Amino acid sequence: MTLKVYIDLFSQPSRALYMFLKLNNIPFEEVNVSLLKGEHRREEFKKINPFQRVPIIDDNGFILTESVSILKYLAKKYNAPSHWYPENDVATVARIDEYMNWQHLNTRQNSAQLFFNLMMLPKMTRKPIDWDQVKILRKKVVEVVKHLDEYFLMDHLYLCGNEITLADLLGVCELVQLYPVCEEGIYESNPKVKAWMDRVKTRLGQLFNQAHEPLFRMRARFDRNINSKL
């Protein structure tokens, strides 16, 4: 039975999972669940995932609902190249787990909130961008970028060493929604973090653009100056 994957490429962890599956030639049936249309709140979806989020997988009746657990499970089950999650390298696995635990309340939460306040909330409420709130969130993202630079990257090519891992997939998918989509160049102004982002994008090749196409389409609809001021 084919692995069934419920995703929406508008979702950051969905994009990370999608790229991982494609990069490792893991066969799967894609089931699109539109977040913008509220399909994740429908009763039929709630029966599969009561948490009403994507991504989730159904592997012949075995259901997982959290992106980090999903990525680790697939890396092990399908014997993905060891650099993604090298179980024989205890220290590197610990670093990967460290980042993936840390990112929920840091890279993910702060980047997502800044994106939401700049892009989504004004469209939903038909009100101007709340620049006071944006300034607060910018400070938080600046702190995230500082930690990526000084703690995770240090003198490494990637977040957890000199090879790309699951942590890098999750990290780039969070930050890319700020630049170029919302023109928030916070990570772009940090040479080390920008170099890491560029390195990961190059490593992923055209697949990166393919996975992010729905997000990049939103860029044309973003105007920070409509009914607002900096």
Q: In terms of domains, do 103 and 54 share one?
A: no
Q: In terms of domains, do 59 and 11 share one?
A: yes
Q: What is the pLDDT along the chain (230 residues), one digit of tens a residue?
A: 689 999 999 999 999 999 999 999 999 999 999 998 999 999 999 999 999 999 999 999 999 999 999 999 999 999 999 999 999 999 999 999 999 999 999 999 999 999 999 988 988 888 899 999 999 999 999 999 999 999 999 999 999 999 999 999 999 999 999 988 888 999 999 999 999 999 999 999 999 999 999 888 887 666 665 434 33
Question: Which pLDDT does position 157 carry in this prediction?
Answer: 98
In contact, 93 and 84? CB cutoff 8 Å? no
Q: In terms of domains, do 107 and 214 share one?
A: yes
Distance CA 146, CA 126 (A): 33
Tell me the pLDDT tens digit for each residue of 73-132.
Answer: 999 999 999 999 999 999 999 999 999 999 999 999 999 999 999 988 988 888 899 999
Query: Which residue reads 């928030």 in tokens?
Result: 184
In contact, 110 and 140? CB cutoff 8 Å? yes
Q: In terms of domains, do 107 and 23 share one?
A: no
Please report, for the domain that includes residue 55, its CATH number. 3.40.30.10
Q: Which pair of tokens denotes residue 112?
A: 């997502």
Q: In terms of domains, do 30 and 56 share one?
A: yes
- Four-point Cα dihedral 200, 201, 207, 210, nearest 10: 140
Question: Which pLDDT does position 230 carry in this prediction?
Answer: 33
Please report, for the domain that includes residue 192, its CATH number. 1.20.1050.10
- Looking at the domain assignment, is residue 227 inside a domain? no
Distance CA 103, CA 151 (A): 13
Distance CA 167, CA 188 (A): 19
Question: Which pLDDT does position 158 carry in this prediction?
Answer: 98
Q: In terms of domains, do 122 and 10 share one?
A: no
Q: In Å, how far from its chain's centre is CA 23?
A: 16
